[in-house]
Amino acid sequence: MGDNGPVSTDSSDRASKQPAKRTSSGRSTRRTPRPARRAGNPVAADEPAAAQNSDGARVPSAPPAVTRAAATTDLPEDRYLNRELSWLDFNARVLAIAEDKSQPVLERAKFLAIFASNLDEFYMVRVAGLKRREETGLSVRSADGLTPHEQLVRISAHNQDLMEKLSRVFLDELVPELAAHGIRILNWAELETADQIKLSRYFEDHIFPVLTPLAVDPAHPFPYISGLSLNLAVTVADPDAGLRRFARVKVPDNVPRLIRVEADRENEHATFLPLEELIAAHLGKLFPGMRVAEHHIFRVTRNADLEVEEDRDEDLLQAMERELARRRFGPPVRLEVTETMSETMLELLLRELEVDQHDVVEVKGLLDLSCLFQLDRLHRTDLKEAPFVPATHPAFAEGQTPKSIFATLREGDVLVHHPYDSFSTSVQRFIEQAAADPHVLAIKQTLYRTSGDSPIVNALIDAAEAGKQVVALVELKARFDEQANIQWARTLERSGVHVVYGLVGLKTHCKTALVVRQEGSTIRRYCHLGTGNYNPKTARLYEDLGLLTASPEIGADLTDLFNVLTGYARHGQYRRILVSPQGIRNGIVERVEAESERARQGLPCGIRMKVNSLVDEQIIDSLYRASLAGVPVQVVVRGICALKAGVDGLSENIEVRSILGRFLEHSRVFHFVGIDEHWIGSADMMHRNLDRRIETQVRVTDAKLTAQLDAMLDSTLHPSTRCWVLNAKGDWEPSPRSGEQVRDHQVEMLRLHGAKVR
C-alpha cells in the first residue's frame, strides 16, 4: 500500500566512518510536481496505434519514432536505480498517504502503522542481508554499482529523513487531529487523577504480575533482547551505598500496547495510554528500596531471514522448526531509541548489544507506531473509509435455479477481480463445492499463505475425510508465515491429505488449484490460477485476479505442473502457462522482443504491464530495447522499480507510475498489444520470483475477459488517475498536479464491479 525524500549520495569510506550525529540536520527538499508523461495507450493488433485525448479515450496516432540509439545494442552502465533505495521510496509513498489531509484520520493512522510495519520487515530482511555480506567480506555490488557498505550508508541517511517526517506527521498532525475527534493518546502526566488511580489498580492486577526486572551486575549478565520487543532501560540508585545499577524491563507483548482508559468501550470518545507509560509510572514498585534515576524506551531489530540447508536436511519441516527457533537470536541490525536517552545509557546499550552507532535510529514520540493498528478497531465509521460489500460475480449469481460452479465453467471461463468481486462466492465456493461433490475424484492445491481459520483448508480436510484424493503443497518457507504453515501441514496430514513441501531450493509461490471430476464416461478438469493467496481475509484488502476455467489445455498444464511439484517429473513445455524458473523470464522477453520487431516494421505495438516490483535486469534491458525500437511501454508498479523512465536515448518511450490506496495493488498483468496477448500470474519481475520460485503466468484468451483486463489497465493508466510518476531523475512525483481533475482508480473499480459501498 503505499513519498519521497532525498537520499544521501555520500558513499565514500571516509564519510561513512564519521560518528553518526545524535540529531539530524532536518534537511529536506521540495520538488515542484510536473505533469505525468502521457504515452499513448497501445491498441489491439488490428487497430492503428493510438494516443489519448483529453478524456483519456483512444484516438489514432502514429507510433513513436525510433530513436537514433535504437541501432546500438550497448546500453549505459548506469541504467538501473538501486533496489533498496527504491523500496524506501515506496515506503515514503505510503507515508505520503498518511500525510494526505483529505484522507479520513483513522485511515491516516493506519498508513502510519503500515509504514512502520513495512520498515521493520525491510530491516529484518534486506538490511540484514546487506550487513551479512559486508561482515563476510563479500564484495558483490548491486546492479547500480554500489557495495553493501555504500548501500547501508545511503539507506541510513534516507531512513533518518523518513523517520523525521514520520515523527512530524504523527506528533504535529495526527495526534492533534485525532484529539479534535475525541481520540486522545496521552502520557501519564496528562491523565486525570481519577484515571491514574483506576489505571494503577489495572497495573497491580494485570501488568505487575507478568513483569520481570532483570538486573545487570557481575552476577547477572546483560539479558537477551528479543527482536522487535519494547524495553525499558532503567538506572536505579542505592540510596545507602550510592551505587547505580542498570536493569531492563520488557514491555509485555501479550497485552494491548495502547490501554483504553474509559470503562465504557461503546463511547465514541476514546483515551489511550501507551503501556510503557503505565509501567514507567510504577517502576518504584519493581525496585522497592531503590531510587529510579532514569528510564528510557528502546527497541532492537534483528536479522530474521532464515537460511535452511535443504540439501543437508532430509525433513524440511524439522529444519524449518529449528531455524524458526534460531530467528529470535539473529544479530541486531537496528537500535531504536527515544531522543531523550542519555549518552551514558546509549553507550551502554551499544556496547552490550554490539550495535554500531550508525545503526541507531532516534525517534521523537512513540516507538513502534505499528500499534496504531489498534485504532482501526474503534467503531468510528465517521473517521474511516466507507465499508463495502464485494459483489458476487455475475457468472456465479444465484438465479431461480441455482447452478453449480462446474456447470458455469463448462459454459466459459470466468475472471474474478478481488476485492471488488467476492472471494467467498467464487474461489472459496469453487473449492467447497469440489469438496462436497460426490463426482469429484481429486483436488490438488498450492497453499502459500492462508488465514488462521481458513475455510479453504477446512474444505480440503472435508474432501479428504470424504475419501477424495487431496494433495496440498504447503510452502513452509513463506516468510513470517512459517509457523502457521507448519501447523496447517500437520493438521492436513492428520486428516488424510497428502501434504508435500515443494522442491528443494525453490519456494512454491504459484496460486493454483486443480479439481478432477468424473462426468459420465469423461474425466474433466477444472482449474483456478490466481495472482493472490487463498486467504479470504486478505482477499478483502489485496487487489488480485483469478482465472476459473475448464480449459482442457490449462487442465493438462496444471496436471503436468503438479506432477513436477509432487514427484520427479521434469516438464519443460506447457500449453497455456509459463512456469518459472526459466519459463517466465524467457516468455516475457520473447514477447517484448516481438513487440520491438513490430515497431521496427512500422506495425502497431505496445506493452502494458502491472506488477508489484520491477527489478530483474534482463526484463528491464528488454524494455529499454523496446523503447529504443519505438515501442510505447507503460508500467504500473506498486513497490520497487529499478528501471529508469523517461531518460533520453534510453527510455523516453517508457512511462512508470505507482498507485497506492485503500487496497494493496497486488495483481500482475501483462498486455502485449501488437501480438494481442494478455497474461496474469503470481510472479513479479524479480530475481527471486524468476530464478528461485515456482511461479505461473496464464494466458487469458476469452474476448470478454481480455476486455475486462483492458478496462482495468485503462483505468490505472488514465491521465487523471491519482498516482505517482517516476521522472528521469529517479524521483517520484505526485500526479495529477494540484488543481487538475483527479480520479481514484480503486473507487472506479468498486463502481464498475457493483460492489456496495455503505
What burial class does residue 209 get, using C-beta atoms within 10 Å of its C-beta: 0-12 exposed, 13-18 middle, 19+ buried? exposed
Query: Nearest Cα to 80, choosing from 742, 724, 647?
Result: 647
Estimate the crossing angle of helix 105-122 against helix 148-168, to 10 degrees. 160
- Backbone angles phi and psi of 81, in degrees to 5: -90, 155
Give the Cα-Cα-Cα angle 664, 391, 97 (nearest 5 degrees): 25
Identity of the amino acid at 231:
N
Q: How far is CA 637 from CA 366, 607, 707, 724, 736, in A?
A: 32, 14, 21, 10, 17
**How many angstroms separate the CA atoms of 717 and 43, rounded?**
13
Query: Nearest Cα to 394, choosing from 664, 708, 714?
Result: 708
Identity of the amino acid at 396:
F
Grid cell in block for residue 392: 458476487
CB hemisphere CA count around 673 (13 angstroms): 29
Estimate the crossing angle of helix 745-753 against helix 703-717, to 10 degrees. 150
**How many angstroms separate the CA atoms of 495 and 344, rounded?**
58
Query: Nearest Cα to 127, choosing from 93, 96, 91?
Result: 91
Bridge-partner residues for 635, per DSSP?
A: 609, 656
**How many angstroms separate the CA atoms of 526 and 413, rounded?**
10
Q: Which entry of 295, 393, 417, 509 is annotated as an active-site residue?
A: 509
Residue 478's region, left for phi above 0, alpha for psi from -120 to 50, else beta, is beta
- 472 and 447 Cβ atoms separated by less than 8 Å: yes
What burial class does residue 729 get, using C-beta atoms within 10 Å of its C-beta: 0-12 exposed, 13-18 middle, 19+ buried? exposed
Percentages helix, strand, coil for the chain (3-state, rounded to 5) are 35, 20, 40
SS3 551: coil
Q: Which residue has the cell 520470483?
A: 689
The distance between the two most distant Cα atoms of the chain, rounded to a whole number of Å, is 93
Q: Which residue has the cell 494478455?
A: 678
- 258 and 184 Cβ atoms separated by less than 8 Å: no
Bridge-partner residues for 641, per DSSP?
A: 614
| Dihedral sign (CA 560, 562, 565, 568) | negative
Is 509 annotated in the active site? yes
Q: Print the SS3 string covering 235-302.
A: EEECCCCCCEEEEEEECCCCCCCEEECCCCCCCCCEEEEEHHHHHHHCHHHHCCCCEEEEEEEEEEEE
Q: How far is CA 750 from CA 385, 386, 388, 417, 539, in A?
A: 13, 12, 9, 10, 14
Close Cβ partners of 661 (under 8 Å, ≥ 6 residues apart): 1, 2, 97, 722, 744, 745, 746
**How many angstroms separate the CA atoms of 338 and 364, rounded?**
6
Residue 502's region, left for phi above 0, alpha for psi from -120 to 50, else beta, is left
**How many angstroms separate the CA atoms of 615 and 52, rounded?**
29
| Dihedral sign (CA 100, 103, 105, 108) | negative
Identity of the amino acid at 117:
S
Catalytic residue IDs: 509
